Amino acid sequence: MDKRFTITRSDGRSNAQVILDHVKDGEPGRVYPHAELLVALDVGSDRAHTRPDVYHAVRTALPRVLREHQRRLHAVRQVGYRLARASEHVSLARCDRHRADVQLKRGLATLQNVMFDEMTPNERSAHEGTLMVVSALWANQAAMDRRLRKVEMAIASVR
């Protein structure tokens, strides 16, 4: 059996569930140091956890923390994770969106800059189809950005 799917905790909870249970009632703004989360993961487990285990458990728990408790954990470099206040969600969402835009642009550049002569006709066709889809996605995103910028400027002028 794959070791990743072996239950290693006496209560049967996953690492993500342990993180969720540990932070769910926390005060907004509270910082959870890596060491604290490591201890939480080690309690009731038959193995010692490492910092990458914390990273993975938090990453896995993030959607549930957000969906079930309307809270967002975000990384604090060299410290751990912080439970964001509700007023900080917009800023965090903007950062996420910016990273997504960068990734989309990088993907488009990768598709645009390729040596087509190294591809078979089938590979070239598949590549060109993907390029068309990603190009359309990028164009739609750029148009949406322009419209959103206008709305944000209008809102800012009202404040």
Q: Is the pLDDT of residue 125 over 70?
A: yes
Q: How confident is the model at residue 61 (pLDDT cuts 50, 70, 90)?
A: very high
Q: Is the pLDDT of residue 12 over 90?
A: no
Residue-wise pLDDT tens digits, 126-151: 999 999 999 999 999 999 989 988 99
Q: What is the pLDDT of residue 32?
A: 96
Q: Are residues 66 and 97 in the same domain?
A: no
> Given strand 80-83, what is the order of strands in its sheet?
31-33, 80-83, 73-76
Q: Are residues 67 and 92 in the same domain?
A: no
Distance CA 87, CA 70 (A): 12
Residue 136 tokens read as 């359309």
Q: Are residues 93 and 152 in the same domain?
A: yes
Q: Are residues 10 and 50 in the same domain?
A: yes
Domain boundary residue, one of 30, 65, 84: 84
Residue-wise pLDDT tens digits, 75-99: 999 999 999 999 999 999 999 999 9
Q: Is the pLDDT of residue 2 over 60?
A: no
Distance CA 8, CA 18 (A): 12
Distance CA 18, CA 37 (A): 9
Residue-wise pLDDT tens digits, 19-57: 999 999 999 999 999 999 999 999 988 888 999 999 999
Domain boundary residue, one of 84, 109, 130: 84
Q: What is the pLDDT of residue 44?
A: 87
| Phi, psi of 26, deg, nearest 5 | -70, 155
Q: Are residues 9 and 76 in the same domain?
A: yes
Q: How many domains does the chain have?
A: 2
User: Side-chain half-sphere of 32: how many Cα atoms within 13 Å?
Assistant: 27
Domain boundary residue, one of 60, 84, 108: 84
Query: Between the CA of residue 17 and those of 43, 83, 147, 148, what are the distances in Å?
Result: 13, 16, 40, 37
Q: Are residues 22 and 74 in the same domain?
A: yes
Q: Is the pLDDT of residue 1 over 60?
A: no
Q: Are residues 109 and 139 in the same domain?
A: yes
The residue range of the domain holding 64 is: 3-84
Q: Are residues 31 and 102 in the same domain?
A: no
- Give me the CATH number covering residue 7: 1.10.10
Task: State the pTM of this model.
Answer: 0.76
Of 59, 22, 27, nearest in space to 41 by CA: 22
Encode burial over 85-98: b for 16+ CB neighbours within 10 A, e otherwise: eeeeeeeeeeeeee
Q: Are residues 62 and 96 in the same domain?
A: no
Yes or no: say if 104 and 138 are a contact pair by the CB < 8 Å rule. Answer: yes
